[in-house]
């Protein structure tokens, strides 16, 4: 089972301020080069990415998942020597990273660098993969589409809250199921629904900020991922390379038919 990596516990509390220069990483690929900057206010993700870059962890890793109008994903160490048509996307360094949502400051605009993760059902705390990341390409949205999406995201968040409460009460649910206590199950369900409604009332309905609305209508992105996956950086140069990767032909598993490989990464000034 993967363990959670807590950099602050392992390395001691660090003095991290927004005044520190943001780290830049040059990513060299078989499709060309691009540069990302890492945000200082997602320090665990920043430090982990720097660590892996310095260890040459990403050298020769594939972009194993590419979806047009969505994103390009890499970081699975099992992709280095993977034969054609093999299933990829589950590999990593053996740990996860606690979510660092700095929302709505950082969101899934075009060019956002974000951490991949397992689904809520098995990862209710939304912890990030220790190595897999994706760069957002996305698409442009109309204002009406974004307003409709706000309502859907409120509904999805309510479902996620309910699922997390169910996970926290898993033992009680199993006990009631094993005892065939349907009345008890219905009572517990009603309690969890009421708790969900209470939490959602405190949170309020989901709304995009003016900055998000502007970015998603002009540049594009993947707004339905906001506040669910950690955004820890962005592409600052070479977005055309990401667009090139996004447009390659892929197989049924969204893996490029012709390998697109990260040759190396390096920290630059």
User: Which two three-digit tokens encode residue 190?
Assistant: 């009603």
Residue 78 lies inside a defined structural domain of this protein? yes
User: Could you tell me whether strands 71-74 and 128-129 are parallel, antiparallel, or unpaired per DSSP bridges?
Assistant: unpaired
Q: Dump pLDDT digits (tens) for 73-109.
A: 999 999 999 998 888 999 999 999 999 999 999 999 9
For the chain, the domain total comes to 2
Task: Specify whether 191 is located in the same domain as 111.
Answer: no
Residue 208 lies inside a defined structural domain of this protein? no
Residue 209 lies inside a defined structural domain of this protein? no
Residue 212 lies inside a defined structural domain of this protein? no
User: Which two three-digit tokens encode residue 147?
Assistant: 């307003």
Question: Which of 42, 40, 47 minimizes the C-alpha distance to 11?
Answer: 47
Helix (H) or strand (E) holding 267: strand 262-268
Residue 214 lies inside a defined structural domain of this protein? no
Residue 21 CA to residue 227 CA, distance in Å, equals 25
Residue 110 CA to residue 143 CA, distance in Å, equals 17
What's the DSSP call for residue 257? S
Task: Specify whether 43 is located in the same domain as 162.
Answer: no
Tokens 């990302």 locate to 36
Task: Specify whether 49 is located in the same domain as 157.
Answer: no
Task: Specify whether 132 is located in the same domain as 151.
Answer: no
Task: Specify whether 106 is located in the same domain as 238.
Answer: yes
Task: Specify whether 119 is located in the same domain as 7.
Answer: yes
Task: Specify whether 84 is located in the same domain as 162.
Answer: no
113, 231 Cβ separation under 8 angstroms: yes
Average pLDDT, integer, range 2-20: 44
Task: Specify whether 52 is located in the same domain as 103.
Answer: yes
User: Alpha helix locations (H) across the chain?
Assistant: 7-11, 43-54, 143-168, 170-178, 182-203, 210-218, 239-246
Q: pLDDT confidence of 7, banded at 50, 70, 90?
A: very low
Task: Specify whether 35 is located in the same domain as 151.
Answer: no
Residue 70 lies inside a defined structural domain of this protein? yes
Task: Specify whether 123 is located in the same domain as 42.
Answer: yes
Residue 22 CA to residue 210 CA, distance in Å, equals 25
* Residue ending a domain, choose from 168, 203, 238: 203
Question: Which of 125, 64, 122, 58 minimizes the C-alpha distance to 93?
Answer: 58
Q: Dump pLDDT digits (tens) for 124-171.
A: 899 999 999 999 999 999 999 999 999 998 998 898 889 889 989 999
Helix (H) or strand (E) holding 115: strand 112-115
Residue 100 CA to residue 128 CA, distance in Å, equals 9
212, 223 Cβ separation under 8 angstroms: yes
Residue 126 lies inside a defined structural domain of this protein? yes
Domain of residue 184, residue span: 144-203
Report the residue count for the chain. Answer: 269
Residue 247 lies inside a defined structural domain of this protein? yes
pLDDT of residue 19: 60
User: Which two three-digit tokens encode residue 218?
Assistant: 């002009």
Task: Specify whether 231 is located in the same domain as 188.
Answer: no
Task: Specify whether 123 is located in the same domain as 151.
Answer: no
Q: Dump pLDDT digits (tens) for 212-245.
A: 999 999 999 999 999 899 999 999 999 999 999 9
Average pLDDT, integer, range 171-192: 94
Tell me the three state secondary structure of residue 151: helix
List the single range of 34-43, 81-90, 251-260 with lowest mean pLDDT. Answer: 81-90
Tell me the three state secondary structure of residue 165: helix
Burial of 118 (0-12, 13-18, 19+ CB in 10 A): middle
Phi and psi for 128 in degrees, rounded to 5? -85, 150
Residue 218: alpha-carbon gap to chain centroid: 22
Q: For residue 236, what is the domain's CATH number?
A: 2.40.100.10
């Amino acid at each position: 089972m993967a363990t959670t990596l807590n950099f602050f516990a392992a390395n001691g509390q660090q003095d991290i301020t927004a005044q520190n220069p943001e780290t830049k990483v040059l990513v060299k690929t078989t499709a060309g080069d691009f540069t990302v900057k890492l945000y200082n206010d997602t320090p665990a993700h920043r430090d982990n990415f720097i660590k892996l870059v310095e260890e040459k962890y990403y050298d020769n890793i594939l972009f194993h998942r590419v979806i047009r109008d969505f994103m390009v994903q890499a970081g699975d160490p099992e992709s280095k020597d993977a034969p054609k048509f093999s299933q990829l996307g589950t590999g990593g360094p053996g740990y996860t990273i606690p979510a660092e949502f700095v929302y709505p400051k950082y969101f899934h605009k075009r060019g956002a660098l974000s951490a991949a993760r397992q689904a809520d059902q098995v990862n209710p705390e939304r912890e990030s993969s220790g190595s897999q990341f994706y760069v957002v390409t996305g698409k442009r949205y109309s204002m009406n589409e974004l307003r409709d999406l706000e309502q859907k995201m409120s509904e999805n968040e309510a479902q996620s809250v309910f699922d997390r409460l169910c996970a926290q009460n898993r033992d009680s649910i199993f006990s009631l199921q094993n005892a065939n206590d349907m009345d008890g199950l219905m009572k517990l369900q009603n309690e969890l629904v009421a708790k969900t409604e209470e939490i959602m009332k405190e949170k309020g309905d989901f709304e995009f900020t003016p900055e998000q609305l502007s970015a998603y209508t002009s540049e594009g992105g993947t707004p339905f991922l906001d506040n669910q996956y950690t955004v820890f950086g962005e592409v600052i140069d070479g977005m055309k390379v990401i667009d090139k990767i996004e447009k390659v032909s892929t197989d049924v598993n969204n893996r490029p038919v012709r390998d697109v490989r990260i040759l190396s990464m390096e920290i630059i000034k």
